[in-house]
Structure 1
Amino acid sequence: MDQAPARERPVTLNVPDHPAITRPDREAADAVDTVHAADARDALPHGRAEPGGLVAAYVTGPCAAVVARWAGERGITSGAVSASSLALAGLAAVWFSAGARGGLVAGAPLLAASLVLGQAGAGLARRANPFALRPDAVLDRVGELAVYAGLAAGAAAPGQSAWWLAVGAAALLSVRHTVSASYAAGRHARRPSRRGRSRRGGVARRAAESLRLPFGERFALIALTAALTDARLTFAALLAWGSAAAALTLGVRVARSPAA
C-alpha cells in the first residue's frame, strides 16, 4: 500500500481554548473585584491595594467592570487607566481649590469617576501580573493627597484655613496604611488566606470593611460632604471616622492576638 510521504501528511493541532485568549474582555472584567474587594482585612503587602467595602464592591464595582471590559477589548493598558484616574482626581482637586459652591459640586462627580477608573485600572494590573508591585496603589495615594490639598486651598480662600486639618487627615492616613501593611505582612506569613466563603459572608465582611473607612468609602465621603457642606466639615468627618476606625481596628487586633 502506498503511503504519502511524511512531509505531505496533514498535521492537526489540538489546542484547547484558553479563557485568557478567547475572552480577554471577560478576564479583565472578572479581575476588577479581586483588588478593592480582596479576601483580606487591611492593606496588603507588596504594593497591593487595600481591600474594599460596600462602595468598591457594589457601587463602583459594576461601573469599573464595564470600564475594564471596554479597555480590555481595545488593548488599553492598566497604566493608562490608572493615569486617567489620577488626572481626574487632579481635576477634582482643582475644582475644590476654587472654594466656591459650584467648584465643590463640580469636583464631586470627577472624584467619583476617578474612583471608578482607579478600581478598573487596579483590576487590569492584577490580572496582568498578580504578584508584581502595582503602581496604581501609589497613584491612588497621590490622587487622594492632591484632593486634600485642593480642599484645604479652597477653604483658605474665604479666610478659613483648613491646612492643619488636611495635614492631620494625611498623617492619620499614612499611619493607618503603615500599620496595616505591617500587620498584613505578618499575618500572611503566618497563615494562608481562606477561600470559598459564601456570598452572604462576603457581604458581611465588606460591610465590616466599610466601617474601617477604606479607599472607596473615603472618596465617597469626600465627594458627598464636599458637595453638600464645605472642606472643613469634610476633613472633620475624615478625622472623626478615621480615628474611630483606627481604634476599632486596633481593638480587634489586640483581641485576636495570640497573647490575648
Structure 2
Amino acid sequence: MTVAVIIATGTARGGPEPGPAAVLPGAPGDDPPTLLTRLCRRLTALNVPDRHIVTRPEHAPLLRKDGHDVIECADPAADLREIARLARLTRGPLLLLPGDLATGGELLARLVRDARTTVTAVTAADAGAGAAPVRRARGTVVSAGSAFHQVTGPDAAFPGVLRVGRPRFETLAETAERLAGLLEAPGALPEPAGEGEPDPLALLLVGLVRAGVPVTALDAGGLPCLRADDEPAAQAASAAVDGVDERAVRLKAAVKSNDGFFTTFAVSSWSPYLVRLAAWRGLSPNTVTCLSMGLAVIAAVWFAAGTRTGMVAGAALFYLSFVFDCVDGQLARYTRQFSVLGAWLDAVFDRAKEYTVFAGLAVGSTAAAAGSGVDGGDVWPLAVAALCLQTVRHMIDFSFGVRPARAAAAAPAGVPLGVAGDGAAARAETAPAAGRGGAVARLSAATSRVRALHWLKKMVVFPIGERFALISITAALFDARVTFVALLAWGAVGGAYTLTGRVLRTLPR
C-alpha cells in the first residue's frame, strides 16, 4: 500500500504573522478546508491512509489544530533524514508531496496506481510558487533544479510530487542522507539563489537525477498541479482544480495519442462514447475483448458464404470488431482495470481475428458462384502467404520490443551535487559525432514534425488499423484475391520499411 510523506514546511506570505502555507484556505467561505486537508481527503479516497506530515516546530500547533498529526523537523536537513528513515521502514511505494499543493484526485490516482515505473516525478507547464525547473527528454527528467542547482534549457516545472517504488528505497535514503550532510556542511553546496529555506523535494529530485536514476516525467497535462504561498494563490489554485472535469480528462487520456491514421480518425473519433456506455453498463475490458473476437468470428462466417451480401456484412462486422478491439484498451485505461489475463487475451485475439478472417475469405472464394463478383478462385496459397508474412512481422516486432533498454534513455549522471550547473553545455561540446543510428533517429524526428509525413510514416508500416480497414474495404468492394494481394503487397512494403529502420537504428551512434 502506498505511503504518503507530506512536507508541510513552507511559510505563507502576506499574513499578519508567518504561518504554514499548508493551512491556507483552499476555497472562499466561512470555514473552508485548507490545502493540506483537501490533499489528505483526496489521498484517503485513493486508499492512502498512511500519511506522515513533516513540519516545523513553530508550524506544528496550527497543523494540529487543523486536525493533523505531524512530525516536527527543525530544518531541511532534518526533513531529508526523516524521508531517509521512512524509506528504510516503509514497504512502499512512497508518495512524496508538498503540503501547499492543490491538485485533483485523477493525477494522484495515476501516481498511486502506477505499477510500471520505479521513480516518477510530476511535471507541469505551470506549477505555481515554489516549483523547481526541470528539463525532459523522451519522457525522462534529465536535469532538475533547486535553490542551489541550475537547469540548462528548462522545459517544465516540478511541483514537488515524487513517487518512488520499493526497488529504489535504498537509493532514495542514501541520496537524502547525502543531501542532508551537504546542507549542514558550510560551502558544500553552491551559493543559493533567492531567500528562504531550500525545498527538500526539489533537492531530492536533483540528487536522484544526478545519481543516474531514471526518473519518469509524468506530464500533468490538463490537470492542475499547483503550489501556493499566499491566500489568493491558494484559492485560485483550488478553483482551478475544482473546475476540471476529471472524468472527461481521464476519458481523453484513455485514447492513445500515437495511434495509426485509420484508428485515430475512423475509430477513436467516436469510440469514447462506447467506452462511457460500457463503463456505465459495468462491462469489464476482458468482456469487450471477447465481444471483439466474437464479432470477428461472425464476420468470417459471413465471408465464407461466398456472396456479395456476405462480403459486405462481413466487412461491416470486421470493422466493428476492430472498434471494440480499441474500446477494450480504452475502457481498461478509463476504469483502471488492468490484468495480465487481459493483456494476454488482447494480444492473442488480435492475431486470431485476422487469421480467422483469412480462413473465412479463402472458404468464401472457393464457395462463390463461378463468374460472380466475389469469385476469386482458389486463394488458399495467398491466404497462407499472408498468414506467414504477418507471423514473421509479429516475430520481428516482438524481438525488437524486448531488446534491452538503451543506456542513453537513462538520465545522464556524473555531475556532482556541489556543482551548480548540470553540465549540459560541456556534454554537448565533448559529445562524439553521431553515427548512422543517431542520424536516422534525428531524421525520423524531423520528418515526424511535418504532419503529412507523420501520417504517411504511420500508414506505411501497415499497423493493425490499416490492415483491418484494407480487409474490410477490399472484401466489400472486390473479392478475396484482391484482398490477399493487397495485404501481401502493403505488408511487404511495411515490413521492409520497418526492418530497414530498425537495423539502421541499431548501428553505432
TM-score normalised to structure 1 length:
0.77
Give the distance between the partners of 2:251 and 2:310, measured in 1 at CA.
Answer: 34
Q: Which amino acid aligns with 1:124?
A: L
SS in 1 for 2:283: coil
Q: Which amino acid aligns with 1:27?
A: R
Q: 2:403 aligns with which of 173, 186, 192?
A: 186
Mapping for residues 81-100 of structure 1, pairs under 5 Å: 81-100=288-307
Matched residues, percent identical? Answer: 37
2:285–2:337 Cα contact (<8 Å) kept: no
State the aligned residue count: 230
More contact order relative to length (CA 8 Å, sep ≥ 6): 1
Q: Which has the higher strand share?
A: 2
Q: 1:58 aligns with which of 241, 261, 265?
A: 265
Q: 1:225 aligns with which of 474, 481, 488?
A: 474
Give the distance between the partners of 2:449 and 2:382, measured in 1 at CA.
Answer: 36
Consecutive unaligned residues in structure 1, runs of 5 or more: 1-11, 38-51
Query: What residue in structure 2 maps to residue 244 of structure 1?
Result: 493
Q: Which amino acid aligns with 1:164?
A: P
Q: How far did 1:164 drift?
A: 1.3
Q: How far did 1:66 drift?
A: 1.7
Q: 2:383 aligns with which of 159, 166, 186?
A: 166
1:29–1:69 Cα contact (<8 Å) kept: no
Distance 1:189 1:206, change over 3 A: farther
SS in 1 for 2:507: coil
2:284–2:337 Cα contact (<8 Å) kept: no
Query: What residue in structure 2 maps to residue 177 of structure 1?
Result: 394
1:25–1:69 Cα contact (<8 Å) kept: no
Give the distance between the partners of 2:248 and 2:402, measured in 1 at CA.
Answer: 32
Give the distance between the partners of 2:457 and 2:481, measured in 1 at CA.
Answer: 27
Query: What residue in structure 2 maps to residue 31 of structure 1?
Result: 254
Give the distance between the partners of 1:68 and 1:191, measured in 2 at CA.
Answer: 38
Query: What residue in structure 1 maps to residue 324 of structure 2?
Result: 117
Q: How far did 1:126 drift?
A: 4.5
Q: Which amino acid aligns with 2:494?
A: A
Q: 1:155 aligns with which of 349, 355, 365?
A: 365
1:216 aligns with 2:465: yes
Q: How far did 1:82 drift?
A: 1.1
- Comparing 21-30 with 180-189, greater Cα deviation is found at 21-30
1:29–1:66 Cα contact (<8 Å) kept: no
Mapping for residues 67-106 of structure 1, pairs under 5 Å: 67-106=274-313
Q: Which has the higher helix share?
A: 1
Distance 1:190 1:168, change over 3 A: farther
1:165–1:235 Cα contact (<8 Å) kept: yes
Consecutive unaligned residues in structure 2, runs of 5 or more: 1-32, 43-103, 111-244, 371-376, 411-444
Q: How far did 1:240 drift?
A: 0.7
SS in 2 for 1:62: coil
Q: How far did 1:167 drift?
A: 1.0
- Comparing 112-121 with 183-192, greater Cα deviation is found at 183-192
Distance 1:202 1:217, change over 3 A: farther
- Greater gyration radius: 2
Q: How far did 1:28 drift?
A: 4.4
Q: How far did 1:32 drift?
A: 2.7
Q: How far did 1:236 drift?
A: 0.5
Query: What residue in structure 1 maps to residue 159 of structure 2?
Result: none
1:255 aligns with 2:504: yes
- Comparing 218-227 with 158-167, greater Cα deviation is found at 158-167
1:88–1:114 Cα contact (<8 Å) kept: yes
Q: How far did 1:184 drift?
A: 2.0
Give the distance between the partners of 2:408 and 2:254, measured in 1 at CA.
Answer: 24
Distance 1:81 1:259, change over 3 A: same
Q: Which amino acid aligns with 1:229?
A: F
Distance 1:138 1:126, change over 3 A: farther
Give the distance between the partners of 1:213 and 1:186, measured in 2 at CA.
Answer: 22
Give the distance between the partners of 1:66 and 1:202, measured in 2 at CA.
Answer: 30
Q: How far did 1:182 drift?
A: 0.9
Distance 1:86 1:131, change over 3 A: closer
Q: How far did 1:130 drift?
A: 6.3
Distance 1:68 1:154, change over 3 A: same
